[in-house]
Amino acid sequence: MVTERMVKSEVSGTPGPAAGRGRGMRAFGARLIGLLLLALALGLGYAGVVSGIQEPFSKSIAGTITVERCAEGDTRRAPQECEGVFVSDDGKTKDSDFAEVETEEPYVKGDRIDVVQIDTYSYETSLTSAVAAGLRYLFGGLCALGPALFCLIAGRWPGPRAAGALRSLPPAFSWMTFPLVGVGLLGLIVCGIVKGAT
């Protein structure tokens, strides 16, 4: 049944109750997505701090892997995956369960590869490579944090139609949100270059 109030709203061109409910549902959906993105950002950030900073500098052990076999790798920057026995430089740590490391250089059985053990099952060819590999999670978290903040505060998904919502926000928030994504993407690119070069 069409009420007088709804008719007046349609005649005057102002949004009626249905339109208001629609906006409310869209805002709720956007903020729910924002919460999920925020959880993802925090999870990736935590993983980046642990695997990119804490473990490489507090738990890493330098040593060598004596190659038993090598196979074709999964990426262009790591064309080989080599397995073998890891022994630390001080001789106190040994992993006989075929430690595995990705490498650009071709190796054959019996060759020795200088590596850094990050944890029990993780090896990198250098400490720099280990840090770059871990920090990729942190920068990935920044990429998710930007849209998460926008969705939570503006109640809209970032896009052309969100320009009005963006203008209504404080200036500090407006310039902070999207550069987070830019910094995250730049960090991912730099980490990829560093890891590929070390």
Its domain, for residue 87, covers 60-127
Q: Are 156 and 102 members of one domain?
A: no
Q: Look up the pTM and report it.
A: 0.66
Report the pLDDT value the prediction gives residue 10, as an integer from 0 to 100. Answer: 46
9, pLDDT greater than 70? no
Which stretches does DSSP call E strand in 15-166? 61-72, 80-88, 94-103, 112-119, 122-124
**Structural contact between residues 64 and 113, judged by C-beta atoms closer than 8 angstroms:** yes
Residue 172 lies in a domain: yes
Q: Are 161 and 65 members of one domain?
A: no
Q: Which helix (H) or strand (E) holds 31?
A: helix 17-49
3-state secondary structure of 16: coil
Q: Are 159 and 187 members of one domain?
A: yes
Which of 127, 142, 161 corresponds to the end of one domain? Answer: 127
Q: What are the pLDDT digits (tens) for 126-165?
A: 888 889 888 999 999 999 998 888 888 777 776 656 555 5
Residue 94 lies in a domain: yes
Which of 77, 97, 127 corresponds to the end of one domain? Answer: 127
Q: Are 35 and 64 members of one domain?
A: no
- Cross-strand partners of 122: 119
Rounded CA separation 130/47 (Å): 13
Q: Are 138 and 177 members of one domain?
A: yes
User: How many domains would you assign to the chain?
Assistant: 2
Q: What are the pLDDT digits (tens) for 34-51?
A: 899 999 999 999 999 988
Q: What are the pLDDT digits (tens) for 188-197?
A: 999 888 877 7
Identify residue 83 by its one-letter amino acid code: E
Task: Residue 149: name the closest of 183, 185, 180, 188 by CA.
Answer: 180
Q: Are 36 and 75 members of one domain?
A: no
Residue 157 lies in a domain: yes
Confidence of residue 185 (pLDDT cuts 50, 70, 90): very high
Report the pLDDT value the prediction gives residue 28, as an integer from 0 to 100. Answer: 84
Residues 6+ apart with CB under 8 A from 68: 83, 84, 85, 98, 109
Q: Are 109 and 152 members of one domain?
A: no
Q: What is the mean pLDDT of the chain?
A: 79
CA 8 to chain centre: 50
Report the pLDDT value the prediction gives residue 36, as an integer from 0 to 100. Answer: 95
